[in-house]
Chain A
Amino acid sequence: MTVSSSLVTELERIVGASGIVTSHEGRMTYECDMHVFYKGEPDVVVLPADREQVQAVVRACRAAAVPIIPRGSGTGLIGGAMAPIGGVMIGLNRMTRILDIDVRNRCAVVEPGLINLMLTKAVAARGWFFAPDPSSQMVSSIGGNVSTNAGGPHCLKYGITTNHVLGLEIVTSRGDVLRLGGKVADRPGYDLTGAAIGAEGTFGVVTAVTVRLLHVPEAVKTILATFSDIETASEAVSAIIAAGIIPAALEMLDDVMIRAIEEGIGAGYPKDAGAVLLIELDGPAAEVTVQADHVAAICRARDSLDVRVARDDAERALLWKGRKEAAGAIGRIAPSFLLQDAVVPRSKLPQIMREMRAISERHRVLFANVFHAGDGNLHPLICYDESNGDELERAKAANEELLLACIALGGSVTGEHGIGFDKARHLTLQYAEADLNFMYRLRRAFDPDGLMNPRKLLPSHPACGEGFRPHRPALPEGTWV
């Protein structure tokens, strides 16, 4: 226990008795996010009601030199919102107000605990929406989306969270309120808003977010293209992008996933298909019509077995229901799975799919694929049954091998889930010591005492340590003044 009773008393004074959780049973709820491998119970959980309370809590924690862990809905997938070395968790679930909706200026200001979908619901009647749409959008918070720089199926066309955030209000570990960016799009100085998005709570506690809203497009068409196998479907993905078409979404599901979904909720996917592509086009009606024909022609030319356009909203919703509930449906096949989030250049999809098949066979584990094919963001569910011998170990080995294969193809270790506790060690695959050292020092500029969400986002490697400087190039012989 790193938290003294006097700090607990102080925190209770700030947030009130109903805003503090100290019992073991209560705190257990907060010991992990959706990545249940990593558990770390906070010593105390506080649920502040406004920015002033957040500020007071942070100041109290800082005075006591206690770690601070911000948390939204806890739907992250990376071991982000948990307390590996204890400390005070700040749950932002009570800060859910929409502070301002300003469609004339295409933006809104919200508190961090607001559920993603609630914002779109609040502006839908006026014809607007908030573009980032992680599959968790019914439960995940906008503050959490900001902290992980969350993506979603439609970020292929619309971009990820960072492309839709204009400003942030952050309480730093010193208890200062930083107002970064805002409704006005340009501001002199460094783009600290951009730097703070995806910082996973290591720069401070986000207490308000100014987001960009988009006008709902005139038309939407959803197409389901069926293929005999995943490699062929991957070729079609590349061909669509290469033709200069950027669909709103371009999602892939493989045979294992299709069967799990059809046996579960039933989304109308062809049960005997090797793979399907779920392709959504949106925009001006005439554009959508022409591009839909073009996409259908490309799929057929790439050996699609069947191309079907959803006839109405109900059919469209059903096709999407299958996609959005895919991870849940896999429970019919395996009790547990590891979820990978690596990225490859989209033209390398056919190749990585072949490698994935080989990895799956080599380690004798089942892969179920459901992913954002359009931007090369893989999400294989690597299935295992913990009670079945060394299956978990084999699944982990396969997971690691796939990650390395993606990096070897010029990819990235995470496309939209983030680093958290889970992938901190993997950063060294993508970055040299100098690169990580830059990030470490950036973190210290925001949080000099290292109180904010410790052990997350960066590896605790000597290369990141204070005082360490990466190798500097030696000057050539004779270079001196």
Chain B
Amino acid sequence: MRSLGAALAAIVGRDAVSDDAARTSAAALDGVVPRAVVRPSSTEQVAHVLVLAHEERLVVAPRARGTSLDAGTPPVRVDLVLDMTGLDRVLEWSPDDLTASVEAGITLGTLNETVLGPRRQALPLDPVGWRRRSVGGVTATNASGPWRARYGTMRDLLLGVRFVQADGVVTWGGAKVVKSVTGYDVPKLMVGALGTLGVLTELTLRLHPLPETERTWFVTGPSLEMIQACLDALIDSALQPTRVDVLDTLALAGFGAGDAKAALAVSFGSVADAVHEQGERLVAIGRGAGASVTERPMELWHDLERVTTPAAGDVTLDIATLPARIAETLRAFGREEATLGRGARSIVTGRGTVGALTAVVKGAAPAAVASLVTRLRAIVADHDGSVVVRGGPREARAAIDPWGPLDPHVMDLTRTIKQTFDPRGVLNAGRFVGGL
């Protein structure tokens, strides 16, 4: 018998395999130490590694920058960590077509700041910590940020995808052009799938031109209802914001908003005149509702990102609700939060116009978080909302199903799909919905 390390070395070269105790422990996922960490540098090498893993019935966990490894159900077994940072090239960028093909390990920071930025183009996704996050990871976790108000999510931006199936078959789905309805929309299936159907290696993306000017306003009010009224009025208007985030009282704390209870941060991006006019109209909406509206520097978004970046030990919850239920959900959250125990607190922010909130819970015991999540799920269930434990310590995700329940028929189909494409449970086994 040869060692796994030697077999992997034959594929990627000795330097790209780590199977010593120090480095495998450093790559542990939720305390599960892999047998090896392998760093391929091409789709072909990824395919070879997966052929091997499939033959040997190994469990493979793909990772790139490691910023979202605390997502999903804690794994029971991980044999190989597939380090995707070796695939980080821009394969093709056609500025005149507003499309680009990149390898999965490239970071949003490199892509948006170094490559596309100078041409005033972007892949408009800005989840917390975006500079360090890989495009593949953002696809697998379907992460997004304030820009979602204007540009949507990866679902709206991913045109084509190359991935390696669990048994090593290299597969392509979608197209390299902005419009194509050729067969099933395979890219959609890969967004948010946590790498359970294939290891993403290459992504073809729709880019957007960045607006000429972007400015930010802060709408603050003494009650959640007032902020909800402003949000309702903004939604029911012809204004076209680029970013819209709602902030609860704690999130607001560092922003010098006096005793305001909640806020909306709103940006408009366009030609200067249109930004100015829309800002004026937002001021009118805010004043009409009795709220105060002030312009803030664009740095507000950096500050907000800092406030919402989880620290070690924090638990992040994604709360999916409806735009019209934001105030209600925030109030319910505030009420339930009181049961978290002494010293615990949480910061809730999110996409007002979409109804996607994120709570960063600090200083709470796993059992308390689990019970909070259970009660929140019951509260949003009346409108088919959901609460997902998006990140946090292993214990918090072990204390409750981090994904929550799915409709039984949908779960059956989900299981069938996973079984179809990964019957041996090679890809991220045990970490996705329903324990898949």
| Interchain CB contact under 8 A, B386 and A431 | no
C-alpha spacing A472/B49, complex, angstroms: 12
| Also in contact, A410 and B271, with CB within 8 A (given A190-B192, A458-B183, A475-B48) | no
| Interchain CB contact under 8 A, B182 and A284 | no
A residues less than 8 Å from B380 (CB atoms): 184
C-alpha spacing A442/B184, complex, angstroms: 9
C-alpha spacing A375/B177, complex, angstroms: 8
Stretch at the interface among A58-66, A67-75, A256-264, A340-348: A340-348
B95-127: CB near A (< 8 Å → 1, else 0) gives 111110000000000000000000011000000
Minimal beta-carbon separation of B159 from chain A (angstroms): 10
Interface assignment of A183: CB less than 8 Å from any CB of chain B: yes
| Interchain CB contact under 8 A, B409 and A179 | yes
Stretch at the interface among B2-10, B128-136, B250-258, B285-293: B2-10
Minimal beta-carbon separation of A163 from chain B (angstroms): 6
| Interchain CB contact under 8 A, B181 and A438 | no
Residue of B nearest to A159 (CB): B156
| Interchain CB contact under 8 A, B96 and A346 | yes
| Interchain CB contact under 8 A, A347 and B183 | no
Stretch at the interface among A28-36, A215-223, A330-338, A381-389: A215-223
C-alpha spacing A376/B176, complex, angstroms: 12
Interface assignment of B214: CB less than 8 Å from any CB of chain A: no
Interface assignment of B82: CB less than 8 Å from any CB of chain A: no
Interface assignment of A364: CB less than 8 Å from any CB of chain B: no
Among the listed A178, A191, A215, A291, which residue makes an inter-chain contact with B409, where contact means beta carbons less than 8 Å apart?
A178
A residues less than 8 Å from B192 (CB atoms): 189-191
Interface assignment of A454: CB less than 8 Å from any CB of chain B: no
C-alpha spacing A215/B235, complex, angstroms: 8
| Interchain CB contact under 8 A, A183 and B420 | no
| Also in contact, A189 and B414, with CB within 8 A (given A435-B173, A475-B51, A476-B11) | yes
Stretch at the interface among B23-31, B61-69, B320-328, B333-341: B320-328
| Interchain CB contact under 8 A, A473 and B7 | no
Interface residues on B, range: 35 or more
B residues less than 8 Å from A189 (CB atoms): 192, 403, 406, 410-411, 414, 432-433
| Also in contact, A283 and B274, with CB within 8 A (given A412-B177, A473-B47, A479-B7) | yes
| Interchain CB contact under 8 A, B165 and A183 | no
| Also in contact, A286 and B273, with CB within 8 A (given A343-B179, A480-B7, A481-B4) | yes
B243-286: CB near A (< 8 Å → 1, else 0) gives 00000000000000000000000000011011011100000000
Interface assignment of B238: CB less than 8 Å from any CB of chain A: yes
| Interchain CB contact under 8 A, A184 and B385 | yes
B residues less than 8 Å from A436 (CB atoms): 183
| Interchain CB contact under 8 A, B2 and A480 | yes
C-alpha spacing A286/B193, complex, angstroms: 41
| Interchain CB contact under 8 A, A195 and B179 | no
B residues less than 8 Å from A473 (CB atoms): 44, 47-48, 51, 168, 170
10 A-B pairs within 8 Å (CB atoms) are namely A103-B236, A106-B353, A151-B179, A172-B409, A179-B410, A241-B96, A345-B176, A372-B179, A412-B179, A445-B416
Interface residues of B (CB under 8 A from A): 1-4, 7, 10-11, 44, 47-48, 51-52, 56, 94-99, 120-121, 142, 152, 155-156, 165, 167-173, 175-186, 188-189, 191-193, 197, 208-210, 232, 235-240, 270-271, 273-274, 276-278, 318, 320-324, 353-356, 380, 383-386, 388, 403-404, 406-407, 409-411, 413-414, 416-417, 420-421, 432-433
A-B contact sample (7 more), CB < 8 A, given A185-B356, A189-B410, A198-B184: A189-B433, A286-B277, A344-B177, A412-B175, A416-B181, A427-B182, A443-B184
- Please name the 6 residue pairs, one residue from A and one from B, whose CB atoms are nearest each other, closest first: A194-B188, A244-B209, A412-B180, A287-B274, A286-B273, A286-B274
Interface residues of A (CB under 8 A from B): 102-106, 127, 148-149, 151, 155, 159-160, 162-163, 172, 176-180, 182-192, 194-195, 197-199, 215-218, 238, 241-242, 244-246, 283-287, 289-291, 343-347, 372, 375-377, 410-419, 427, 430-432, 434-439, 441-446, 457-458, 469-481
